[in-house]
Amino acid sequence: MPKKILILSVFIVASCGLAYELIAGALSSYLLGDSILQFSTIIGCYLFAMGVGAHCSKFIRDEDLLARFVDIELAVGFIGGMSAALLFLTFSWMAAPFRTLLYVLVFLIGALVGMEVPLVMRVLNSRQTEFSELVSRVLTFDYLGALAVSLLFPLVLAPYLGLVRTGFLFGMLNIGVALWTIHTFRHELKQVGTRLLRAATVLCLLVAGFSFSDTMVYWGEHGLYGDEIIYSTTTPYQRLVITRWKDDLRLYINGNLQFSSRDEYRYHEALIHPALETLPWARSVLILGGGDGLALREVLRYTNITSVTLVDLDPAMTTAFTRRDELARLNLHSFSDPRVTVINADAAIWLQQNQDMFDAVIVDFPDPSSFALGKLYSVPFYGMVKKHMAVNGLIVVQSTSPFFAPHAYWTIDATLREVGLMTYPYHLYVPSFGEWGFVIASPELHFEVPTHYRLPMRYLNQETTREMFQFPPDMQRLRMEPNRLDTQSLVREFEQDWRQVIR
């Protein structure tokens, strides 16, 4: 029986160890962007630390194996369980030491986890377990634990519990293993009462943390955003936060501002109307992204538009802006319009599988701050968009800032031209963002800058529209290479441009 308990504990500790690694990677990706860099460096640091821990385990004496195993479980449970909350609060209130703390915690957890399996194997070996059976059983349960968490984390834990609460949950599982081991081997352990007291203390702290996770996240995000948070959720794809200050509602995705209700009309008028004003014959429009429904609101103002298909990855986004009254008012309840079809899917996959043609395509994705987003600004992606375009139709692409991120902006323009589209870049000033850019593209239609609009506008008129398509000397075209899927040069250019701004 004790052998089976030890082997089963391997399943749990392997699950916990991988969970802490995934939490650190996901949290740093949410807060710092560039998911490939974050996960790559965290996995590397974690595996290196596991090797250090495995090496250090040889210095533990045979007579102390069970005691040290219990102590390690208590340490892993405490540090790992608290790690997500500690990292999130640190980033929110004092961002400077975040990276240092991140890698210190990853290394400590990895080193402790690296000691667990060697200790269990030595305990089992001391009980005269055949070596081949010992290795196969321990490694089988180790890998099964990793498989279980790798499936549960993106499908259940992160979207429904959140990263902070998930950290506390796995910390409690580590403490459960410690308590289980103390109870099973109580006749072989020294200072049982002291260890039980330690385990109970840590368990109480983790249970309290689990219970008050929402409060900690609220205060952390309050420190990060400053304003009242009226809605927040973690989905399998991103962290959504909506804040309010007086009459200003703001949407943040993974900490990055997406719009302010005070001036979003400038952005969305510029995104939609220069193109649609020149397509009075248009009937069908495709919107890729734009899950807040604000671009959709502007498209639906045209009575000649008979159908709009909106493809957004995250159902939590479109649901919030459909059902929450203060958000639905922003888009004038556009998702309820009978002309609208909402599809929650990956835009690239949907384009591959769908054969419909459209008179206009609006591409309104977040900035290419990660490789997952960068693929949506690539040559293959724009090639697929082109296949869904009417010959005389127009594509409009949100293209980041030509002032703050000029290399990224002109890379997007070069990528559109690479697939045989004629491009017409333009820009405007949005107070919440600064100078912002777009690109209109077409397979064959020669785009003419509108001199008037059929619909009333808050910002656009003949003069402001003319100015949008003129670039001053400090925002002139740069010769850039297109963004190809295998190299994702756009993500690198975007990061380097904004790093210069921060400096």
Q: Give the whole-angstrom CA distance, residue 74 versus residue 173.
A: 10
Q: Give the whole-angstrom CA distance, residue 378 versus residue 489.
A: 9
Confidence band for 127, pLDDT divided at 50, 70 and 90:
low
Do 228 and 245 contact (CB within 8 A), yes or no? yes
Whether pLDDT at 96 is above 70: no
Do 167 and 33 contact (CB within 8 A), yes or no? no
Phi/psi for 342 (5° steps) reads -105, 130
Nearest C-alpha neighbor of 183 from the set 175, 174, 192, 194: 192
Q: Give the whole-angstrom CA distance, residue 236 versus residue 147.
A: 18
Looking at every residue in the chain, the average pLDDT score rounds to 89
Nearest C-alpha neighbor of 360 from the set 271, 293, 449, 448: 271
User: pLDDT tens digits, residue range 297-351?
Assistant: 999 999 999 999 999 999 999 999 999 999 999 999 999 999 999 999 999 999 9
List residues bridging with 233 in a β-sheet.
Answer: 240
Q: Give the whole-angstrom CA distance, residue 493 versus residue 503.
A: 16
Phi/psi for 405 (5° steps) reads -130, 60
Give CA torsion, residues 28, 29, 32, 36, to 10 deg: 110
pLDDT of residue 392: 92
Domains identified in the chain and CATH numbers: 2-221 (1.20.1250), 226-258 (no CATH), 263-502 (3.40.50.150)
Which of 130-139, 180-189, 429-438 has maximum average pLDDT? 429-438
Active site residue 364: yes
Q: Give the whole-angstrom CA distance, residue 248 versus residue 260.
A: 6
Q: What percent of the chain has pLDDT over 70?
A: 94
Q: Tokens 């420190």 — which residue?
A: 223
pLDDT of residue 394: 97
DSSP-assigned letters across all residues of 357-407: -EEEEEEEPPPS-SHHHHGGGSHHHHHHHHHTEEEEEEEEEE---TTTSHH
Whether pLDDT at 169 is above 90: yes
Q: Give the whole-angstrom CA distance, residue 278 versus residue 448.
A: 7
| Residues 6+ away with beta carbon under 8 Å from 368 | 374, 376, 377, 400, 408, 412, 483, 490, 491, 494
DSSP-assigned letters across all residues of 36-77: HHHHHHHHHHHHHHHHHHHHHGGGS-GGGHHHHHHHHHHHHH
DSSP-assigned letters across all residues of 458-478: SS--HHHHHHHT---GGG---
Average pLDDT score over residue span 270-288 = 97
Ranges 215-229, 288-302, 476-490: which has the least confidence? 215-229
Do 308 and 285 contact (CB within 8 A), yes or no? yes
User: Coil, strand or helix: which one is 203?
Assistant: helix
Q: Give the whole-angstrom CA distance, residue 218 versus residue 392.
A: 49
Identified catalytic residue from 34, 142, 312, 364 = 364
